[in-house]
């Protein structure tokens, strides 16, 4: 399950781990915030009780999206290429 909310300066997507099997160990929710200049992902680390945040440039996010559909190797996206 996921939610999408539009705020003043960001679009916020929350991914909720529902699991396929009641025996699955569920992960904490992941929050993705899309800003004009970057994208952040955040998730609670239950061992330290702190929120861990990773910040991506939009170029890094495009490369990540492309990488999900490619075999093992080294790649460079063409400048201006949108995925």
In the block, tokens 């952040």 appear at: 40
**Does position 77 have pLDDT exceeding 70, yes or no?**
yes
Mean pLDDT over residues 49-73, rounded?
92
pLDDT of residue 14: 93
Name the pTM for this structure.
Answer: 0.79
Q: What strands lie across the sheet with 2-6, from one edge to the other? A: 2-6, 11-15, 30-34, 39-45, 50-56
Domain hosting residue 50, numbered range = 1-18+27-83
Q: DSSP letters of 6-44?
A: E-SS-EEEEE----SSTTSPPPPPEEEEE-SS-EEEEEE
- Could you count the other beta carbons within 10 Å of the beta carbon of residue 8? 4
Looking at the structure of the chain, the number of domains it has is: 1
pLDDT, greater one: 41 or 2 = 41
């Amino acid at each position: 399950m996921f939610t999408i909310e539009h705020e003043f300066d960001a679009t916020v997507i929350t991914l909720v781990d529902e699991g396929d099997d009641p025996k699955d160990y569920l992960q904490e929710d992941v929050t993705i915030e899309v800003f004009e200049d970057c994208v952040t992902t955040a998730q609670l680390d239950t061992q330290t009780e702190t929120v861990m945040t990773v910040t991506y440039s939009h170029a890094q996010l495009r490369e990540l999206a492309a990488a999900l559909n490619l075999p093992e190797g080294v790649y460079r996206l063409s400048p201006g290429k949108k995925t």
